[in-house]
């Protein structure tokens, strides 16, 4: 469980019911497994457990009001919806299930539920007769038909004195169920090689040419591929990001080093994903000693770096190749030209001139293009975008 929940972002929705007391222990279990937790409480939930308790356990302010100006200024409901990898409502009362199923958006939790692209799950908790009621069963069927995961409920004695189904699962079971949501099996048996981050091209022992790539998108795709069951080799330029669990990381600095690592890794690989922002040029000569500041103007002679993704795409034993295009103008036009010129199978392009996505941002938006089609992935957190991209990648692999 720990590896699958490490660095995952979970919004825990707490609705009204005696089982709300279990949410406190669930938060602790999720955080112990490495997840970051934001809590959203309905008005009824606050009658059973205080926001202060859940704030202390989650380490984050608890969100309670849809129209709270202070909350909107910090992390409003739309930003919270984009932030999440998973939204879990636990406990989910009969009333809450009904409102979620019918698309009611009259409080923060139900509004966030409609606004997010994250995975969705509910952990029902109610009286056994309410759980058995035809209306509850119909609401549950509606949610399941939309892809919502349902955790439980369990059977046993209830606070009202009844015995039967309707008890919320224990926190350990719910934490494990959350972890299971990050295993899709879409790429089981596949070997995926991914490049990520920038490259640095040395000018002298202390200076270099580089770019603003943070590596976040490539690392998110690597995690999504692992979640999808793939064996992943991540070739990373110089970035300050922790290594995702259950993959092999190869650290490089320059474009030449990244090319050599990629050529070695793609032997027998199924997919090559080139997210790295490789420097197009490097200095023709690297000074052996630090270049001293003297002349007002200095001239640098630059030579072209190898084109890594085109080199891999030209191999006779080439894998499926997904390239990236970070553009500042004519994004779609330039991406289509690159797809054809480099003989790629797919290309994902984004507008890095936008301040709200791309380099250094936690969000992104992509247009994914292939020979006879395309698909737009609207702005969302990079982990969400990565999973959507992996789903599309798996779909295209099946059609090859």
Active site residues: 160
Identify whether the C-beta of residue 400 lies closer than 8 Å to the C-beta of residue 383. no
The whole-angstrom separation of Cα 63 and Cα 28 is: 18
Identify whether the C-beta of residue 7 lies closer than 8 Å to the C-beta of residue 36. yes
Using CA atoms, how far residue 272 sits from 72, 239, 267, 338, 349, in Å, is 40, 20, 11, 16, 16
Tokens matching residue 57 = 């356990």
Residue 273: phi and psi, rounded to 5, are: -115, 115
Per the rule left: phi > 0, alpha: psi between -120 and 50, beta: everything else, 156 is left
153 preceded by a cis bond (ω within 30 of 0): yes
**Nearest alpha carbon to residue 322 among 358, 366, 359:** 366
Angle between helices 21-32 and 51-58 (to 10 degrees): 10
């Amino acid at each position: 469980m720990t590896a699958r929940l490490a660095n995952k972002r979970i919004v825990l929705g707490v609705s009204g019911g005696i089982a709300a007391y279990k949410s406190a222990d669930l938060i602790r279990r999720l955080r112990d497994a490495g997840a970051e937790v934001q809590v959203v409480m309905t008005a009824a939930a606050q009658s059973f457990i205080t926001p202060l308790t859940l704030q202390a356990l989650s380490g984050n302010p608890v969100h309670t009001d849809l129209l709270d100006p202070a909350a909107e200024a910090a992390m409003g409901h739309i930003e919270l919806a984009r932030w999440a990898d998973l939204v879990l409502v636990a406990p989910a009362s009969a009333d809450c299930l009904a409102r979620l199923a019918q698309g009611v958006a009259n409080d923060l939790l139900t509004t966030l539920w409609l606004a997010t692209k994250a995975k969705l799950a509910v952990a029902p908790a109610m009286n056994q007769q309410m759980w058995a009621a035809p209306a509850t069963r119909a609401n549950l069927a509606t949610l399941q038909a939309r892809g919502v995961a349902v955790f439980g409920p369990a059977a046993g004695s209830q606070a009202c004195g009844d015995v039967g189904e309707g008890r919320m699962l224990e926190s350990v079971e719910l934490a494990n169920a959350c972890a299971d949501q990050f295993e899709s099996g879409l790429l089981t048996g596949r070997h995926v090689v991914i490049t990520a981050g920038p490259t640095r091209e040395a000018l002298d022992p202390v200076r270099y040419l580089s770019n603003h790539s943070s590596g976040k998108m490539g690392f998110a795709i690597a995690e999504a591929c692992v979640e999808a069951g793939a064996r992943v080799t991540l070739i990373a330029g110089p970035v300050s990001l922790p290594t995702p669990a259950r993959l092999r990381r190869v650290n490089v600095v320059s474009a030449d080093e990244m090319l050599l690592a990629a050529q070695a890794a793609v032997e027998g690989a199924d997919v090559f994903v080139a997210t790295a922002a490789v420097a197009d040029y490097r200095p023709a000569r690297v000074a052996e000693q630090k270049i001293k500041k003297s002349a007002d103007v200095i001239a640098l002679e630059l030579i072209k770096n190898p084109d890594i993704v085109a080199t891999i795409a030209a191999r006779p034993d080439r894998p499926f190749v997904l390239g990236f295009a970070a553009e500042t103008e004519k994004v779609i036009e330039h991406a289509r030209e690159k797809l054809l010129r480099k003989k790629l199978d797919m290309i994902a392009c984004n507008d890095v001139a936008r301040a709200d996505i791309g380099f250094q941002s936690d969000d992104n938006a992509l247009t994914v293009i292939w020979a006879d089609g395309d698909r737009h992935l609207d702005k969302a957190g990079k982990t969400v975008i990565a999973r959507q991209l992996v789903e599309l990648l798996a779909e295209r692999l099946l059609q090859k």
